[in-house]
């Protein structure tokens, strides 16, 4: 008798296994192209000099840090409502990726900030909100590892994710209130007029696509791993009982 409690996990693994290498390849292509283009073939900014090249890493990473948390929120809700294990495990799988993205954003931001603003760190609303997001990610990941029963862990981390999301938004507004800030307002928006110059925009877009694809490949792979770990534990537990 199969211990796959739902058809879902087995189907998920079967469907995604052939897909993952292609997504990885596409991610590498986009990232490779975007970074090479941006690093070697774009001019310097007149104010920021060569440091503007950091944008091709900093902005996509920051975007992903936020979007990954949103993805975790959605998958947590799906778990709470529909009890699809794959959903809960996908949230768990995504968290470390989000943590790394946040770290990249914080690191590249600090290195960019030092020559531009004269400081590695400033308690600017955007940076502060990112630091708080980083703490939320850590707490979320820590809670998963602290709870033994996987279903209980899924429930608790899902609730934490939801409450955390509300407070993350709240903290954003509170941080804005608390300090006006020197991080520039968003330069990437859907409105073309407020965009930065096209010469930077296109390679940046390519890098963003690359980061998204990389995330997809990694989260599919890591979710597979979580599914396998869960199945392994179930098999071992069953064997211990008989």
Partner 1 sequence: MKALLLRDLRLAVRAGGGFGLGLAFFLIVVVLVPFGVGPEAQVLSRIAPGILWVAALLAALLSLDRIFALDHEDGALALLATSPLPGEAIALAKALAHWITTGLPLTLAAPALGVLLNMAGPAYGYLLVSLLIGTPALSMIGTFGAALTVGVRRGGLLMSLLVLPLYVPTLIFGAEAVQRGADGLSAATPLLMLGGITAGCFALLPFATAAALRANLR
Partner 2 sequence: MPDLGDYGVYVLSAYGGAAVLLIGLVVQSVTRARRVRAELEEVERRHG
Site residues for partner 2 per CB under 8 A: 39-40, 44, 49-51, 53-54, 57-58, 61, 96-97, 100, 103-104, 107-108, 111-112, 114-115, 214, 218, 221-222, 224-225, 228-229, 231-232, 235-236, 238-239
Does position 180 interact with partner 1 (CB under 8 A)? The reply is no
The strand pairing partners of 22, in sequence order, are none
Q: Which does 238 bind (CB under 5 to 8 A by kind): partner 1, partner 2, none?
A: partner 2
What separation in angstroms does the CA of 151 have from each of 88, 136, 144? 9, 21, 10
3-state SS track over the chain: CCCCCCHHHHHHHHHHHHHHHHHHHHHHHHHHHHHHHHHHHCCCECCCEHHHHHHHHHHHHHHHHHHHHHHHHHHHHHHHHHCCHHHHHHHHHHHHHHHHHHHHHHHHHHHHHHHHHCCCCCCCHHHHHHHHHHHHHHHHHHHHHHCCCHHHHHHHHHHHHHHHHHHHHHHHHHHHHHCCCCCCCCCCCCCHHHCCCHHHHHHHHHHHHHHHHHHHHHHHHHHHHHHHHHHHHHHHHHHHHC
Q: According to the binding rule CB under 8 A, does residue 152 interact with partner 1?
A: yes
Q: Which residue from 56, 79, 130, 136 is in contact with partner 1, where contact means CB under 8 A? A: 136
CB of 156 to partner 1, least distance (A): 5
- Quick one: 56 or 136, whose CB is closer to partner 2? 56
Least CB distance to partner 1 at residue 178 (A)? 5
CB of 167 to partner 1, least distance (A): 5
Q: Which of 9, 109, 164, 203 binds partner 1 (CB under 8 A)?
A: 164
Q: Which stretch binds partner 1 (CB under 8 A): 68-76, 98-106, 148-156, 209-217?
A: 148-156
Distance CA 19, CA 14 (A): 10
Q: How far is the CB of 48 from partner 2 (least distance, A)?
A: 8
Binding partner of residue 138 among partner 1, partner 2, none, CB under 5 to 8 Å per kind?
partner 1
CB of 157 to partner 1, least distance (A): 9
Report the length, in residues, of the chain: 242
Interface contacts to partner 1, rule CB under 8 A: 132, 135-136, 138-139, 142-143, 146-147, 152, 155-156, 159-160, 162-164, 166-167, 170-171, 173-175, 177-178
């Amino acid at each position: 008798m199969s211990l796959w409690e739902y058809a879902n996990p087995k189907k998920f693994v079967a469907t995604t296994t052939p897909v993952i290498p292609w997504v990885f390849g596409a991610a590498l292509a986009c990232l490779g192209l975007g970074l090479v283009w941006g690093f070697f073939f774009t001019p310097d900014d007149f104010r920021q000099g060569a440091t503007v090249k950091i944008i091709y890493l900093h902005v996509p990473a920051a975007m992903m840090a936020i979007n990954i948390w949103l993805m975790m929120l959605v998958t947590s809700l799906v778990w709470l409502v529909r009890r699809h294990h794959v959903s809960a495990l996908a949230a768990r799988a995504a968290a470390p990726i989000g943590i790394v993205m946040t770290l990249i954003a914080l690191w590249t931001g600090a290195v960019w900030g030092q020559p531009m603003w004269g400081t590695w760190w400033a308690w600017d609303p955007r940076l502060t909100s990112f630091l708080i997001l980083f703490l939320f990610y850590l707490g979320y990941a820590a809670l998963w590892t602290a709870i033994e029963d996987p279903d209980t862990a899924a429930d608790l981390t899902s609730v934490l994710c939801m409450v955390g999301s509300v407070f993350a938004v709240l903290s954003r507004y509170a941080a804005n209130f608390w300090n006006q800030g020197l991080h520039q307002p968003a330069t990437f928006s859907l409105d073309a007029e407020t965009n930065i110059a096209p010469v930077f925009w296109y390679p940046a877009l390519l890098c963003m696509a690359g980061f998204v694809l990389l995330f997809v490949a990694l989260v599919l792979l890591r979710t597979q791993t979580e599914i396998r770990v869960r199945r392994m534990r179930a098999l071992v537990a069953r064997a211990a009982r008989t």
